[in-house]
A and B are shown apart, each in its own frame.
Chain A
Amino acid sequence: MNTKLPTPASAAEPILDIRNLYVEYLTPRGPVQAVDGVSFSIGRGEVFGLAGESGCGKSTIAHTLLRVLRPPAVVTGGQILYKGVDVLEMGEEDLRTYRGNYAVGGEGQATQYTLESFRWAEVAMVFQSAMNSLNPVVRISDQITDVVMKHQKLNRAQARERAAELMAVVNIEKKRLDAYPHELSGGMRQRAVIAIALALRPSLLIMDEPTTALDVVVQKDILQQIEQLQAQLGFAILFITHDLSLMVEFSNRIGIMYAGNLVEMASAREIFNNPLHPYTQGLLTSFPSITGERKRLTGIPGSPPNLITPPAGCRFHPRCTRCQPVETQVAPEWQEVLPEHWVAAHAGMPLPDRTAR
């Protein structure tokens, strides 16, 4: 359904370009359409935020990007172009010589990617819960050295040195290098995960709810650190969260997902000041503003639909306060209603008057 592609905000050549991605979970009761024709792109060094309720398909997209989807999830359509190479077509390690994909790099050189050389070296990921994403019985140092030794062919001593450097980058004392995950505090654990993620200097870092399990102070601390590191190392970020206020502060551009669809995409400022989709508007009223006046939070009534039999037409229509008859039958078109501001809504949808704000 999304045939037109939005142009990336920052660079002419995006680092990541997701085109019309479909992912389904095959269940005994029928396929769950978890990601239903999503397209977006991320520029070099850009922070792209992906927001939406639990179960809207955000994490599924992240897992698809790294090809770590587990059965019963299957990609049923679309392309994920990383620097022009389709991630979904990359061959496994043992097939690298035969099935390696070639891409034309920035200097006009051919770049070869296999799944093996792509994972972590190009795209790394910070998982939701640091406690669960660290192997509980292996020292932090070994969890860094194994990935460094695997990819960069360093010996143990060099890898350890690299691990120590990385720990310094995320402000963890060198002596904690040989600690086990349970010996670190929650914030330190998440910083250790970030250190592991940066081990190979990836060009894109996926952060799936990186601070949800942490308290607000540590959360702010870690986000600031990520911002610094990003300025320093220049990687792009795909930032996934359901905390829209956090995202508005942190991202360049934001995509809003609902029930497997991307429903709105614009710059962070635009999303915050001029949300067009009723769902985005609902999300924004679900979080209190710290500086603004006290208001009753309205939220969004109802809960996300069953994705085995999603609602016909606009998937949001059963919960929409401004629902029109046409929306119950015809899916809205993904269109650029304002410059760089995309929304999947019906043409007849009344746009809020910007001057009135």
Chain B
Amino acid sequence: MKFILRRLGFYLIAFWAALTLDFILPRLLPGDPAAAILGPIGSRMTQVQIAALRQALGLTEAPLFQQYLTFVTHVFQGDLGVSYSAFPAPVTQVIGTSLRWTLLLGITSLLISFTLGHLIGILGAWRRGSAFDVVMPPLFNFIGAFPAFFLALGAVYFFGMQLKWFPIAHAAKDHLPPGWTVEYIGSVLHHLALPLTVSVLVNLQVWIQTMRNNMVSVLAEDYITMAEAKGLTQNRIMFGYAARNAFLPSITGFGIFLGSILSGQVLIEQVFAYPGLGYLLTKAVGARDYPLMGGLFLGITAGVLLVNFLVDIVYTWVDPRVRAE
């Protein structure tokens, strides 16, 4: 418990640092941030509009400390400003829409590749040198060696453009009203298939390799030999003794991956024009949408910290040695 509280303290400090950085960065821009943002079209804006924008950005004439307090208050009220590229939608709303798609793609992909990769890794190590072990890990290693965008482009070309089995862009048919209808969900899954498959293929080998290697070293431990001598069933030894121990480093890996999902699978989302956070981030950078970039930065940081905190809790639960003070 003390351990968890200490970790929580650490993450709170880290979040505060991120928050402050998010506040300082726009103010470090040379010249007037509002002018920089409005640079390309600034001449078409009236003074009133510019002042309104400055107000929206929190760039008032008030002292810096006061600005900071206002900023922090707004963040905790869930107000991250207004997106410029999707004007006048608030940043939180823009991020929220994309977050849904990123979570759908990212978490499904992570869960599938994590589970599948571990099973292949466990079985490969358990039957080391068998046909399964000789074929499966190297095969996925080979596939995973291709860059994500290459696999994505290949998938778009063959299954999207040539065979026309799957749509090549967006997350659902445009004219369909979103809702829990069979048609809409079917369309979502249809759009999800290609990016999901590519994402799984790209990530699978990492889990296979990690788990297989960890299993191989754990299988050499005395407690595995002892479990065997105890006459326990193969399943009990494989999962209860070997995989249980070999799995520990994967929890940390899972956390890191879960965090990285939030920053989006930029390349894959880009190729499939999938409206997730990664796609949004490139769009925000392209349009110099500073409030959106700031919001994304803060949101991603908060997400990564939260995920790491959850991983710490899970780790404490599965590895008793971490609990010891």
Contact = CB atoms under 8 A, between A and B. Distances in A.
Given A134-B223, A135-B241, A182-B320, A119 B229 contact: yes
Interface in A111-127: 115-121, 124-125, 127
Contacts of B321: 136-137, 180, 182
Contacts of A151: 231
Interface string A112-156: 000111111100110111001111111100000011001100000
Nearest to A121: B231
13 contacts: A68-B228, A68-B229, A70-B225, A117-B231, A119-B229, A128-B222, A135-B240, A137-B318, A137-B319, A137-B320, A137-B321, A182-B324, A183-B320
Given A127-B226, A137-B320, A138-B244, A119 B221 contact: no
Interface string B272-296: 0000000000000000000000000
Contacts of B240: 135, 138, 146
A176 interface: no
B319 A119 contact: no
Interface of A: 63, 66, 68, 70, 93, 115-121, 124-125, 127-129, 132-139, 146-147, 150-151, 180, 182-183, 196
Contacts of B227: 135
Contact of B225 (A63, A117, A134, A146): A63
Nearest to A92: B234
Contacts of A196: 230
Contact of B226 (A70, A125, A183): A125
The number of chain B residues touching the other chain, given as a range, is 20 to 34
A180 B323 CA distance: 11
Given A139-B320, A146-B230, 14 more contacts: A93-B233, A116-B231, A119-B230, A119-B231, A120-B229, A120-B230, A133-B225, A134-B226, A135-B240, A137-B244, A138-B241, A151-B231, A182-B321, A183-B324
B314 to A, nearest CB: 13
B199 to A, nearest CB: 31
Given A127-B226, A137-B319, A146 B236 contact: yes
B4 interface: no
Contacts of B245: 135-137
Contacts of A63: 225
B311 to A, nearest CB: 16
Chain B residues touching A, majority SS: helix
Given A137-B245, A138-B240, A132 B222 contact: yes
Contact of B231 (A115, A135, A138): A115
Contacts of A124: 229-230
Contacts of B51: none
Contacts of A135: 223, 227, 240-241, 244-245
Most chain A CB atoms below 10 A, which of B230, B232, B233, B319? B230
B223 A150 contact: no
B139 interface: no
B21 interface: no
Interface string B309-325: 00000000011110010
B248 interface: yes
A66 B230 CA distance: 9
Residue among A117, A133, A183, A196 facing the most chain B CB atoms (10 A cut-off):
A133
A112 to B, nearest CB: 15
Most chain B beta carbons < 10 A, residue from A66, A125, A137, A196: A137
Interface string B206-250: 000000000000000111011111111100100011001100100
B222 to A, nearest CB: 4
Contact of A147 (B221, B223, B231): B231
A82 to B, nearest CB: 14
Contacts of A116: 231
A127 B222 contact: yes
Nearest to A114: B231
B222 A133 contact: yes
